[in-house]
Structure 1
């Protein structure tokens, strides 16, 4: 069984969400293969890349090169992939070209955010941004793309339910959840043991973009109502976004890290009172798992997917209610409450693993029937 995993969305230098998902799942598949696990018996794994610099962010596996995923050649990229003679191709996106493909194909839907929040990511080429907006004005383009695949993968039960609700595909939908690379359990144990110090640190962490649906403005207003608290904004930020957020509340103490390294991010989490996010919509929420893995509680908006991820460990507030966010954060000032949430957070984080997702995808590969089907 020859499986090709589309790794062309891997970022160079630092992962984003889809890039991290790709590296996490492919790395876990490699680990299963190296261990001789029966789940991947006979599986031959090849990575499809578009830039050799991506290899520094990926495991050591056979690879092949194709045009980039935002290239004008994307509708016919399958003609390049056919040369590899794969049995199954898994793409971490739903837009992979399918013209005259000679293999089974699984496409991934991470979320449906952009139907209600249509602003595209700013780093996409201009023509892709135009197509992006047109694509999200109706459901039929999504249905057309998904129904040309043989199976659909998604990263949460929440998104699977939305796919069903909007009748986006007639094909089987498999959940292979996002996860995170957790630190040793001793890190979380140390956090719970230092509950008094951590609850008193009054350091809040936000990891994510500054797009409108992320609703960072609510977090800024909440911090403005919390004397002594500091909100650390970890991701890269434009000058315009920084100035806009700083103007919301002069009492809010904000620290812009403008793209902290993974090591710096981990250190921030190990010294924080909580990770906070007020997103209006998400397909998952890897920062929640990362924070909980460190034993650091999370205070998040009460959207369905965050309940799926945070379970009983997280604290929830209405997405646009800054006062409610402030109250939930303030409740962590009691060391006993902080320690309880910390221990529950680590236990919840351990329910997510790249290995579990890799096994789900390996089962999809092993179930491949008609290998000669063409579309």
Structure 2
């Protein structure tokens, strides 16, 4: 089977969630199938595996309406896109589109890196569910990364197509830390600073954790940083890193007491799994998706309560509890891996090809004269 995977959502400088998901899925799937990537910028190749690629237009270009004409010439059995926005006009291949989450229906602020016209369309798009249905129903199979999102898709009747899980996972090859060695008095947050991420609550909670340093790792605009800095309690230690490398991120996690995520909405929560894989405990919002990902390995708190967050961290001062959480975290993270995700994708691809063939060969209804 020849699989073409759309890698045009790969960043050119550093991975975000979608970018890393696509790159990792390509690397794993290429081990068990014939895979070709679609890219639109040579710089994307630095963050992608060494897999054959074809240059096509940007997914944000007006030419996207006709991208299927180019893809048709590749002879793919199935095309997989890690988003739901790929052009499909005139396609002659099976298609899998992906919906990661429904966050932006509740929190419609678009990512700041998008061009202004795209941000406007983004807001309009998330005013109703029918545009999402139109996009997803063009596929043969719709993929998502969690049971939580799958259930929400069913609740809002977002597609008539079969929905299949193609899971997310941490990067392979990382060895967990020694749980007996303990941890520094440091806390790590990896994620954006959009309002629904709820960084404000963890900053306020630092008032009760004067011995700890909260490390905010992601890039941040000067305006957003100024908004958060005024919330830092007197005597609290909060450090803005404004971006870190993968190695720096791993090193901070290996030393930390815990990773913190008090987000009010997530599609998955990859930092939780990345932290657990290293044996670093997690304190997270009590939300369905975090419960799905963390199971009994994570400490869950009310995302609106700085006191709950601080109490959960303070409890990890108990070395016995911290060691128990560290060991259980490693066990839980081991249940997520890219090889399994690749097998899930291959199974979905085979199903999509069969559905596409049946659709093409099914008799067309007669038109009455």
Q: TM-score range by the shorter chain?
A: over 0.9
Partner of 2:24: 24
Question: Is 1:3 matched up with 2:3?
Answer: yes
Distance apart, 1:366 and its partner CA: 2.6
2:208 and 2:56 map into 1 onto residues whose CA distance is 51
| Residue of structure 1 aligned with 2:305, choices 311, 321, 340 | 321
Asked if the contact 2:146–2:165 (Cα under 8 Å) also holds between the matched residues in 1, the reply is: yes
Distance 1:118 1:352, change over 3 A: same
SS of the residue 1:11 aligns to: coil
Asked if the contact 1:300–1:314 (Cα under 8 Å) also holds between the matched residues in 2, the reply is: yes
CA offsets 1:309-362 (integer angstroms, 9 cap, x no match): 111010011111111111111110000000000000000111101111100111
CA offsets 1:69-114 (integer angstroms, 9 cap, x no match): 1112222222221221211100000111111111111100011000
Distance apart, 1:182 and its partner CA: 4.4
Partner of 1:208: 191
Partner of 1:85: 75
Distance apart, 1:44 and its partner CA: 2.1
User: In the TM superposition, what are the counterparts of 1:299-314 in structure 2 within 5 Å?
Assistant: 299-314=283-298
Q: Name structure 2 gaps, 5 residues minimum.
A: 361-369
1:356 and 1:138 map into 2 onto residues whose CA distance is 34
Distance apart, 1:202 and its partner CA: 1.7
Partner of 1:152: 142
Q: Name structure 1 gaps, 5 residues minimum.
A: 34-42
Question: Is 1:122 matched up with 2:95?
Answer: no
Asked if the contact 2:66–2:89 (Cα under 8 Å) also holds between the matched residues in 1, the reply is: yes
CA offsets 1:236-284 (integer angstroms, 9 cap, x no match): 1111111111101332311111111000000000100000011010000
TM-score, normalised to structure 1's length?
0.93
1:25 and 1:151 map into 2 onto residues whose CA distance is 17
Partner of 1:40: none
> May I ask how many residue pairs the two structures share in their alignment?
357
Cα RMSD for the two superposed structures: 1.3
Question: Is 1:293 matched up with 2:263?
Answer: no
Question: Is 1:64 matched up with 2:64?
Answer: no
Distance apart, 1:226 and its partner CA: 1.1
| Residue of structure 2 aligned with 1:353, choices 327, 337, 342 | 337
Question: Is 1:193 matched up with 2:180?
Answer: yes
Partner of 2:100: 110
TM-score, normalised to structure 2's length?
0.94
User: In the TM superposition, what are the counterparts of 1:144-183 in structure 2 within 5 Å?
Assistant: 144-183=134-173
